[in-house]
Amino acid sequence: MEQIKYDVNNLRDFDTEWLLHKKCSEWWYATAILKDEENNLYSCQYTFLRMRLFPFLKPFILMMAITDFQTKEHYYTQKFTLSKKNIVINKEKVICNNASVVKNENGMALKCTGDKFSYDLILDYGKGAFWHCDNGKLFMGINDECETTFYYSYTNMPTKGTINLNDKEIKVTGTTWFDKQGGTFNFLNIHTHWEWFSMRFDDNEEIMLFNFPQQNYSDGTYIKKDKTSTRLNNYVMEPIDFTQRNGYKFSCGWKLKIPNIKDEEYKIIPIIDGQLNLAYFEQLCYIYDSFDKLVGMCFVELLPGVYNKKIDGKLLLKKVS
Q: Where are the domains of the chain?
A: 1-188, 190-321
Fold matches, 1-188 and 190-321 = yes
Are the beta carbons of 285 and 298 closer than 8 angstroms? yes
Between residues 318 and 12, which one has the greater pLDDT? 12
Q: Indicate the fold that domain 190-321 takes in CATH.
A: AttH-like fold (2.40.370)
Q: Which residues lie closer than 8 Å to 232 by C-beta, 6 or more apart?
A: 207, 209, 219, 220, 221, 222, 258, 261
Are the beta carbons of 220 and 122 closer than 8 angstroms? no
* pLDDT at 312 (0 to 100): 75
- Return mean pLDDT, the chain: 94
Q: Which residues lie closer than 8 Å to 127 by C-beta, 6 or more apart?
A: 154, 155, 156, 223, 227
Q: How far apart are the first and last CA of the chain?
A: 37
* pLDDT at 317 (0 to 100): 53
Separation of CA 89 from chain center: 19
Q: How confident is the model at residue 54 (pLDDT cuts 50, 70, 90)?
A: confident
pTM for the predicted model, two decimal places: 0.96
* pLDDT at 246 (0 to 100): 85
* pLDDT at 137 (0 to 100): 98
Are the beta carbons of 271 and 174 closer than 8 angstroms? no
Q: Indicate the fold that domain 1-188 takes in CATH.
A: AttH-like fold (2.40.370)
Least confident of 23-27, 118-122, 270-274, 317-321: 317-321
